[in-house]
Amino acid sequence: HNAGESSIRGTFCGKETSGGMIVTVRDIRQAVTDALHTTSWFGSPPITFAAERLQTKRLDIRLEFADGTVYNDYDLATWIEPVKYLAFSSAITSAITIDVDGYAQIQDNYHLIITLTVDTTCPTGQGPVAEINPFVSVT
């Protein structure tokens, strides 16, 4: 998003018009105030990550920022890479690993619930933490 001059052109009933306008963009950082896992899981119970070994599932995270902006999917913030403000982790990496873009990969079965975490770090340090606890089942 850059400041500058833009030209707008429109057509209505076959008539065209255009005009210029100045666009001002303010660079104000907004902290993440809430992060919520919204990942749809499957299996029985419905919080089970049941898949073949090395299969991946993208974690879904809903983010709310200090200015009230809400993104139901962190990928909607296209101007910044998730790795710059989200840190994904798994409590048991021998069963589930998570890459920097939020893709969980099943490694092996595990007998207990595993905590998957996303930490927010935008813009000035630690923000809210979201956790989800799926069962793991290799099919």
d(CA 132, CA 87) in angstroms, rounded, equals: 14
d(CA 119, CA 89) in angstroms, rounded, equals: 8
Residue 128: CB atoms within 10 A of its CB come to 15
Task: Note the pTM of the prediction, 2 decimals.
Answer: 0.68
Run means of pLDDT, 10 residues per run, the chain, 139 residues: 70 83 74 81 67 87 87 79 84 92 90 84 58 55
Cα radius of gyration (the chain): 21
d(CA 38, CA 132) in angstroms, rounded, equals: 9
